[in-house]
Chain A
Amino acid sequence: MLFTSYEFIAFLLILFAVYYLIPKKYQWMLLLAGSYLYYFYAGPFYLLFILTTTFTVWATGILMTRKEKQEKSFLSSERGKAFTKDEKKAFKAAGKKKRRRIMVLCLLLNLGILAVLKYTNFTINNINGLLDIFGSENKLSFVDLVLPMGISFYTFQAVGYLVDVYRGTVKAQDNFFKFALFVGFFPQLVQGPISRYDDLSKSLYEEHAFDWKNNVSMGLQRILFGFFKKVVIADRMLIAVNEIIGNTEQYTGMYVFLGMIFYAFELYADFTGGIDITIGVAQVLGIKVAENFHRPFFSKSIKEYWRRWHITMGTWFTDYIFYPISVSKGMLKLSKFSRSHFGEALGKRIPVYLSSFVVWFATGFWHGASWNFIVWGIGNYVVIMISQELEPLYRKFHARVNTDGNTAYKIFTILRTFLLMSCLRSFDCYRDVPLTFKMFGTMFTTPNWGILFDGSLMGLGLGIFDYCILAFGLIVLFTVSMSQRKGPVRARLATLPYWIKFAIWFGLFIIILLAGAYGVGYDASQFIYNQF
């Protein structure tokens, strides 16, 4: 059931109506039933996987909490009180070690399920490649595996919860069904955001009264804007992107550059549009889901870009992979060793450099089981590390040249970041590492800039009407992004006279109906991040 399908709209309308008609104490149960119905519709067999993750993580959380309570009650008993300070310390450390073992087992099981389903065929493919290199004629056969919808998202969300329970930053959820709702909450199941339990649970289980002004109308407006991004911009842009990347012999040079730029806007409109629908649906229900984007195309460096694009994934990797590795005892020892043997400068860099490599490798691998995603991840790592190394140079430059408040310099840094990210994203476009390099190279060897003016762009599957709609759509996105600097746009629109508000939202609705990429020649496509 795609977010942009009629079935989903019908499903939402019924759910919204029933949600506000039933007694409020049953609202979260309705959401659970709705979420599982939604998931069942995607594939009944998938339920087995989400239920396995939900049950094992929930049970492990309960078990760890029970163990910790037992330790605490022992320490407050007569025998525990008789312990010396060192004995208490050792007892606590042993308890924590036991709980860590339980957590690690559960993590291995769940990440193992994800790894087997997502990466088995990738591994087989690589083994076959190696066998080929060594001249063996034996080949392993590929395995027919299903990848349950949203497994990367719900597994990460559940894993984050479990680590938080172990760390003691959240209290384990006693109620299995409430926990099942946290893992399977339908609007965010297919493409995130990857919510944190302490964040989402605050409003997920609460009773919500019908609040037209603050929740329902605001949520519906956000859904509408999400649809606009998806069906008017992303799905239209997709036609030209598919044409360019699907015909690599024909579309070289300037076409590759155009493809990169089109893909940047397509991905942005597709992913942020999907997240707008997710957050909007949750808002209609009175539930607050974390924001996943903060005007990323206005970033002035790649580091900043990654703080503003797919925010919940970035913070997940930082909190659950980057920090645990970089401040682990082993890493600190390695840093100390490197300081004494290779000098202060290298020793200081070791934790950041090694942990970042792991994070970016994992980020690439998480996006897809293929080398292009791994190279894309490592490409990001290389660029971030180079800019990290160049920081002293930047500081010297800024000490000599005052760029504060210089709009031209600001625009230059924004464009530089946008182009750099677009170049890296071409690995995602062509999905083949050597081909990406080859196509990238043609930008410098094929001087066909004339295609911008000689009508060749009309051969990319888009007509003049489509380009006008795209230009209009991008102007709207740009204007909204610029307005967001002054605060939430919808809240400001709400203060306008009624007829202006009505004209804006009704106009947007009509544009979606009339200018959405539907029908013959258009591909009612999935959201890009659904595949992860």
Chain B
Amino acid sequence: MDELLEILSDLHPEVDFENEEGLIDRGILDSFDIVSLISEISENFDVTISAEKITPENFNSAKALWALIERLDEEQN
């Protein structure tokens, strides 16, 4: 989780990712951020996030995103 928070902070240093729960709904992450994020996640956690997984539920908070990574890790590795 710490590594994910670090990746997120690199994208937007001004955001409190530990507590923010509206990353998509409040427009904090845009489509460019999401793609950069997915590319970083693929590089660092060795999981592939497909386009159909890009939903507000999965990307609204660091916690939700971490849960998705864990789920995909279980499925893919």
Contact = CB atoms under 8 A, between A and B. Distances in A.
Interface of A: 89, 167-169, 303, 307, 318-319, 322-324, 326-329, 332, 335-336, 339, 348, 351-352, 355-356, 388
B30 to A, nearest CB: 7
B39 A168 contact: no
Contacts of A356: 32
Contacts of A169: 52, 55
B30 A327 contact: no
A335 B40 CA distance: 10
B28 interface: no
Given A322-B31, A332-B42, A336-B43, A168 B36 contact: no
Interface size class of B (residues with CB under 8 A): 20 to 34
Given A168-B52, A324-B51, 11 more contacts: A89-B75, A169-B52, A303-B30, A323-B54, A327-B38, A327-B54, A332-B48, A335-B43, A339-B43, A348-B36, A348-B40
Contact of B31 (A89, A167, A168, A318): A318
A323 B51 contact: yes
The 4 A-B pairs of least Cβ separation, nearest first, read A167-B52, A323-B51, A326-B35, A324-B51
Contacts of A388: 32
A329 B65 CA distance: 19
A327 B49 contact: yes
A339 B51 CA distance: 22
A238 B31 CA distance: 35
Contacts of B38: 326-327, 332
Classify the secondary structure of B's interface with A: helix
18 contacts: A169-B55, A303-B30, A307-B27, A319-B51, A323-B51, A326-B35, A327-B35, A327-B38, A327-B54, A332-B38, A332-B42, A332-B48, A348-B40, A351-B35, A352-B32, A352-B36, A355-B35, A356-B32
A359 to B, nearest CB: 9
B39 A335 contact: yes
A323 B43 contact: no
Given A303-B30, A339-B43, A327 B50 contact: yes
Contacts of A89: 75
Contacts of A326: 35, 38
A167 B35 CA distance: 19
Nearest to A388: B32
Interface string B21-63: 0000001001110111011101100001111101100000000
B77 to A, nearest CB: 11
Contacts of A351: 35-36, 39
A327 B36 contact: no
Contacts of B39: 327, 332, 335, 348, 351
Contacts of B49: 327
Q: Which of A169, A322, A327, A339 counts the most chain B CB atoms within 10 A?
A: A327
Contacts of A328: 51
A323 B31 contact: yes
A473 B62 CA distance: 46
Nearest to A320: B51
Contacts of B32: 352, 356, 388
Contacts of B30: 303, 307
Contacts of A307: 27, 30
A324 B27 CA distance: 20
Contacts of B35: 322-323, 326-327, 351-352, 355
Contacts of B48: 327, 329, 332
B11 to A, nearest CB: 10
Q: Which of B30, B39, B43 counts the most chain A CB atoms within 10 A?
A: B39
B39 to A, nearest CB: 5
Nearest to A324: B51
Nearest to A391: B32
Contacts of B40: 348
B61 to A, nearest CB: 19
A245 to B, nearest CB: 34
Nearest to B49: A327
B25 to A, nearest CB: 13
Contacts of A335: 39, 43
Contacts of B27: 307
